[in-house]
Structure formats: C-alpha cells, structure tokens
Amino acid sequence: MNLDNIFNEIEKVDPEVYGRLDSRRAAMKSFARTSGKMALAAVPLAFGSMLQKAYAGTRSVSDSVVEILNYALTLEFLEAEFYNTGLMTTGLLAPGDVRSGIEIIAKHENAHVKYLQTTIMKLGGTPTPKPTFDFSGGSGSGNGPFKGLFNSLDLFLSVAQTFEDTGVRAYKGRAMEIVGGGDVLTAALQIHSVEARHAAYLREIRKTLGSGIGNVKPWITGNISGINSQAVQPNYNGEDVTTQSGINIVGINGFPISFNAATEAFDEPLSKADVLAIVTLFIKP
Amino acid sequence: MPKSLSDELMTAHEKDRAQLSRRKFLGYAGAATGLMAALAACSKEQIQSTSQAGSVTADGVDLGSGDVGILNYAYALEQLEAAFYTMVVMNPYTGITPFELSALTDIRDHEIAHREYFKNALTSLNAAIGTLEFDFSKITFSSRESVLATSEAFEDLGVSAYNGAGRLITGAAYLLQAGKIVSVEARHAAFIRDLRGKNRFADDTIINADGLDLTRKPSEVLPIAATYIKTKIDASHLPTY
C-alpha cells in the first residue's frame, strides 16, 4: 500500500472532502495523525499532494461561507435598525433600567453588523447592503400586524423578543453548514449565545412589566410565544420538540422531566426558508 | 507480535476512512435525521476512535478523542451543573422567593435533561464516562449570594465551553445538538446575572467590543471546573486548536 493509494481511497469514500472548508481542516488533522505513522521521507510528498487537493475548490467554500454571513448580516441589520429607531423615538423608552438594557442590546447588534461586514470583506466577499425595513411587518406597506410598535413599549418589546428568539434559531439553523469552520464558526456561535442572552432578558423584562400573556419565562416553553399576536407564531413553531436525536427527553431515565422542561431545555433551529419567510415581512421589496 | 509498517498504515487508513465516512454521513444527514439514525448507519468501531473513552487510568477518566471526546466533555460539564442545581433545589437558600425557587427548579430540570441526553447518546456509542464525583464544599448553599454567584460562574463557563468546543466537532448533527443546548445555557446565564443585579445579562465583562460572547478551549475550561470536580479527568485525547 503506498501513500497515493491511501489518498485515492479517502477520495473514494468522500469525493467532496476537499471541497469543504471543514473537511479540509479535518483532513489536515487526520493527515497529521496519519503522518506520524509514515516513514519520515514519504511525508513531504504526501503532504504536498494533499494540500494541492485540499485547496482546490476554496473559492466555492468561501462563497458559501460568505452567503451564510450575509444572511446573518441581514438579520443583524434588522435588529440594529429596530433598536436604533426605538432608542431615537421620543417617548418610547424613558430613561431608566429598560432603556439601559435596550442600549446594551443595541450596542451589540450594531457591533455585529460591523463585525460581519469586516469578516465578509476579509474573506473576499461583498457585504450585502442594508435593506429598507418595515417594522410593522407589512412587507413595505407600513400596515402590518405590528403597526405602531414605536408608540407602544409592549409591542416594541414583543417584537424585540421575537427578533432575538428568531435570531437564535436562525444562527443555529445554519451553523451546521460551517461545521469545522474554525474562527468563522466560533464567531457565529459567539453571536448566537449573545442573541440568546438578549432574548432571555427581553422575556424577563416583559414578564416584569406584565406585558406577557401567560407566564413567559427566559426560556421557550413549548411553542408558546407569550405574545398576543398570531403573526409571531411561525417564529415559535417547532420549538415544542421533546425528542432529541431519537432520545425522548420527557421522563428521561426516570427523572421527572416534564413536557415543558423538555422543550425548554433545547432551543430548536429554523431553516433558511422559514427565517426568510419571516424576515420578508419586515423588508420593503 | 509487533505490527509491521503496512499494518500500521492500514490501521491509520481505516481510521481515516471511518472518520470520513462518518462525517460525510453526519454532514449530509442534517438536522431532521439526527444522531440515532446516524448510529444505525455507522458501526460503533467507526464512531469510537483511538482512545478508550470512559476508561479509567492513572491519568483519570478518559474523555476519549474526536467527537466522542467532545460529547463526553459536555457530559462532564452537564453533570457538574445538574449536581449543583439538584443541591440548590434540595437546600433552598435563606430568603428564597417562590419565583426564584421555581426558576432554579426549571434550570435544574434543564441541566438534568442535558446530562441524561448525553448519557444516553454516549452510552449507545459505548463511550460514556461514568458518574463524576463533585466537591461543593466552597459553596454555601444557605447563602443566596454564594449560590447565585456560583450559578452565574457555571452558566457563563458553560456558554464559553460550548462556544469554544463547537469548532472541534466534525459531525454536523453533533454541532446542532450542542447549539440547541448552548443557547439555553446562555438564557440561564442572562437570567441569573440579572437576578444578581440590573442589566448584567450581557455586560462588558463577558461581551467584547465586537459583540461576541465568551469562548474558552477545553484546556481553559477544565482547570476552572476542576475546583468542583473530585474525579480526575483525562482530556489529553481531545481534539485541540
């Protein structure tokens, strides 16, 4: 068995292995392990051959990463402008704890926009331009279900909660596509958990202010939005899953884990299509 | 009998092949299919990699290598959190409000759900580490501040651990499962932080100027967690970056 055969065999098992960022990284690691077992003189040849193949197709890999980052950038534009508008609207957020909390969130969303733009450019991509938003959720009509949200703290916080919970689901839904993606994946995960912190805060604030319907908690119970509008239901559908990779969580191993706890313990992803269907309502075509 | 070089190469090759086919499968299996379906398609030997996950040596209990190692790493942290909150709910601190007890009970249940999920997933891979022993002697369970400060530290640590381990995972289905859990840990962290003081849910001590949350490597997380874990853990086979 010679080295060429080894690599040929690897390619037979997974022809796309060299065309994906994660696979390239993993192949490198795999190679590092394997090379320890090879005769030293044979290593450079094998390494050169692997590199050549590993870097073929880099273009398409970074294209797909850029596409995902631009998807994230659109969501961050939405959130940033939403909070910026809220903070600039006279009479909506009086000085106080809630305003301070929203200022913290706004700071992060604006930072995410900048960070994603910079990262996309570093990867050789073009950041998507900021859309024109319709925060009423009326696809540009200004007459959507959340009309008047900048004049109502209750409505504003409801939409804020929805955006954050949806952001968490959106990042989660696409992180898998950059499995093994190194720094870019880590950054996406770091944004993802910040969105979750925001969501928990907004949910708690809504409960404190008594603006929730039912008993909204920092975590998502079932597929309940805690918001008095059916318009946000698609954002919460599918959160009521109680089985994780085939393992039933309710009452698992004899522990008294209820339906509610089982659904709260795991946040569920949303597909790109589902997120775009939701986001489209807030974008003027 | 000593192995020949060709035997060694063959073994290495088979490992690579197993890893590649596993990742390929998981990568394309997607969210809906999930771990159990993946298990059906991959033999245990393929999922298991070089070190003996769950075995106990002089170096401690072996987390294992590859994705299994990372899953055991997460399982260890979830064991820590679940054990802590079980104590908290059994010994409520002085002056606890019904709201606080209810929320901490929720969190306990979430952490038990995470722990048992990993236990079952890893057991089906024949790779689960055993039940760890903990040392909570530094925590005063009757003190609200001691309990909530520890809770905050554990939740922030958990978030940073999952954020840091994500890039080490090679199977997309595993990455998704970790993602489903980490955002719940972040929700816990934000909630507990705000219980301790207003608008601490995502303050500048944890979120950087780019708006990014904490991230820590396993080699940074485990020494922190070790303060509370009696059982010696061998993380030497975990993937690194």
In this structure, the answer to whether residues A48 and A127 fall within a common structural domain is: no
Q: What amino acid occupies position A62?
A: S
Tell me whether residues A10 and B17 touch, CB distance under 8 A. Answer: yes
* CA of residue B195 relative to chain centroid, distance: 25
For the ranges A11-15, A91-95, B28-32, B98-102, which has the lowest average pLDDT?
A: B28-32
| Listed residue (A79, A138, A73) closest to A280, CA to CA | A138
Residue A237 pLDDT greater than 90, yes or no: yes
Q: Are strands B56-57 and A243-244 parallel, antiparallel or unpaired?
A: unpaired
In a domain, A95, yes or no: yes
Using N-to-C axis directions, what is the helix angle for B172-196 and B66-90, rounded to 10°? 30
In a domain, B33, yes or no: yes
For the ranges A201-215, A270-284, B25-39, B199-213, which has the lowest average pLDDT?
A: B25-39
Average pLDDT for residues A252-265, to the nearest whole number?
Answer: 98
Check the CA dihedral B155-B158-B164-B170 and report its sign: negative
Whether B150 and B103 have beta carbons less than 8 Å apart is answered as no
Residue B84 has a pLDDT of: 98
In this structure, the answer to whether residues A111 and A37 fall within a common structural domain is: no
* CA of residue A102 relative to chain centroid, distance: 20
Residue B23 has a pLDDT of: 43
Q: What amino acid occupies position A46?
A: A
Average pLDDT for residues A56-83, to the nearest whole number?
Answer: 86
Residue A204 pLDDT greater than 90, yes or no: yes
**Contacts for B28 with CB less than 8 Å, ≥ 6 apart:** none
In this structure, the answer to whether residues A90 and A206 fall within a common structural domain is: yes
Residues of chain B contacting A168 with CB distance shorter than 8 Å? 183
DSSP reduced 3-state for A66: helix
In a domain, A79, yes or no: yes
In a domain, A247, yes or no: no
Q: How confident is the model at residue A215 (pLDDT cuts 50, 70, 90)?
A: confident
In this structure, the answer to whether residues A75 and A191 fall within a common structural domain is: yes
In a domain, A90, yes or no: yes
Residue A61 has a pLDDT of: 65
Tell me whether residues A245 and B121 touch, CB distance under 8 A. Answer: yes
Residues of chain B contacting A171 with CB distance shorter than 8 Å? 179
Residue B7 has a pLDDT of: 41
In a domain, A250, yes or no: no
Q: Rounded to a whole number, what is the distance in angstroms from the first to the last CA of chain B?
A: 35
Residue B168 has a pLDDT of: 98
| Listed residue (A271, A66, A171) closest to B32, CA to CA | A271
Q: How confident is the model at residue A62 (pLDDT cuts 50, 70, 90)?
A: confident
Residues within 8 A of B (CB atoms), A 192-251 only: 192-201, 204, 217-219, 244-247, 249
In a domain, A35, yes or no: yes
**The two structure tokens encoding residue A160:** 């804020």
Tell me whether residues A265 and B119 touch, CB distance under 8 A. Answer: no
In a domain, B216, yes or no: yes
Total domain count, chain B: 1
What residue in B sits closest to A102 (Cα-Cα)?
B199
Residue A210 has a pLDDT of: 84
CATH number at residue A171: 1.20.1260.10
Segments forming the whole domain that contains residue A23 = 3-56
In this structure, the answer to whether residues A149 and A119 fall within a common structural domain is: yes
Give the A:B interface size as CB pairs under 8 Å.
262
What residue in B sits closest to A218 (Cα-Cα)?
B187
Check the CA dihedral B69-B72-B76-B81 and report its sign: positive
In this structure, the answer to whether residues A183 and A44 fall within a common structural domain is: no
Residue B119 has a pLDDT of: 98
Tell me whether residues B180 and A111 touch, CB distance under 8 A. Answer: no
Residues of chain A contacting B117 with CB distance shorter than 8 Å? 244, 247, 249, 252
Whether A10 and B23 have beta carbons less than 8 Å apart is answered as no
Question: Alpha helix locations (H) across B42-143?
Answer: 44-47, 66-90, 98-124
Total domain count, chain A: 2
What residue in A sits closest to B6 (Cα-Cα)?
A1
Confirm whether the ipTM is greater than 0.90. Answer: no
Nearest CB to B211; choose among A26, A194, A262: A194
Tell me whether residues B31 and A198 touch, CB distance under 8 A. Answer: no
In this structure, the answer to whether residues A38 and A141 fall within a common structural domain is: no
Segments forming the whole domain that contains residue B105 = 5-234
In this structure, the answer to whether residues A194 and A63 fall within a common structural domain is: yes
Tell me if chain B has a CB within 8 Å of the CB of A185: yes
Residues of chain B contacting A200 with CB distance shorter than 8 Å? 186-188, 190-191, 201
Residue B28 has a pLDDT of: 37
Phi, psi torsion values for A238, nearest 5 degrees? 90, -5
Average pLDDT along chain B, 241 residues, taken 10 residues at a time: 38 42 40 39 44 90 97 98 98 98 98 98 96 98 98 98 98 97 98 97 98 98 97 97 94
Nearest CB to A179; choose among B120, B170, B189: B170
Q: What is the pLDDT of residues A135-191, one digit of tens each?
A: 999 999 999 999 999 999 999 999 999 999 999 999 999 999 999 999 999 999 999
Measured between alpha carbons, how far is B167 from A204 in angstroms, rounded to an integer? Answer: 31
Residues of chain A contacting B41 with CB distance shorter than 8 Å? none
In this structure, the answer to whether residues A18 and A127 fall within a common structural domain is: no
Residues of chain B contacting A97 with CB distance shorter than 8 Å? 198-199
Nearest CB to A200; choose among B36, B166, B190: B190
Measured between alpha carbons, how far is A240 from A224 in angstroms, rounded to an integer? Answer: 8
Measured between alpha carbons, how far is B85 from B158 in angstroms, rounded to an integer? Answer: 14
Measured between alpha carbons, how far is B230 from A59 in angstroms, rounded to an integer? Answer: 49
**Contacts for A181 with CB less than 8 Å, ≥ 6 apart:** A21, A22, A25, A65, A188, B167
Residues of chain B contacting A9 with CB distance shorter than 8 Å? 13, 17
Partner residues linked to A283 by β-bridges: A133
Residues of chain B contacting A180 with CB distance shorter than 8 Å? 167, 169-170
Q: What is the pLDDT of residues B97-144, one digit of tens each?
A: 999 999 999 999 999 999 999 999 999 999 999 999 999 999 999 999
Residues within 8 A of B (CB atoms), A 48-67 only: none
Q: How confident is the model at residue A63 (pLDDT cuts 50, 70, 90)?
A: confident
Tell me whether residues B172 and A177 touch, CB distance under 8 A. Answer: yes
In a domain, A241, yes or no: no
In a domain, B239, yes or no: no
Nearest CB to A193; choose among B37, B163, B175: B163
In this structure, the answer to whether residues A111 and A208 fall within a common structural domain is: yes
Measured between alpha carbons, how far is A212 from A220 in angstroms, rounded to an integer? Answer: 13
Residues within 8 A of B (CB atoms), A 121-160 only: none
In this structure, the answer to whether residues A120 and A161 fall within a common structural domain is: yes
Measured between alpha carbons, how far is B205 from B158 in angstroms, rounded to an integer? Answer: 16
Q: Which residue reads 């490992």 in tokens?
A: B15
For the ranges A30-34, A98-102, A174-178, B196-200, which has the lowest average pLDDT?
A: A30-34
Measured between alpha carbons, how far is A81 from A70 in angstroms, rounded to an integer? Answer: 16
In a domain, B218, yes or no: yes
In this structure, the answer to whether residues A69 and A19 fall within a common structural domain is: no
Residue B16 has a pLDDT of: 41
Residue A12 has a pLDDT of: 45
Q: Sheet holding B56-57: strands in order across? A: B56-57, B60-62, B233-234
Return the number of other C-beta atoms located less than 10 Å from residue B4's C-beta: 9
Residues of chain A contacting B239 with CB distance shorter than 8 Å? 29
In a domain, A104, yes or no: yes
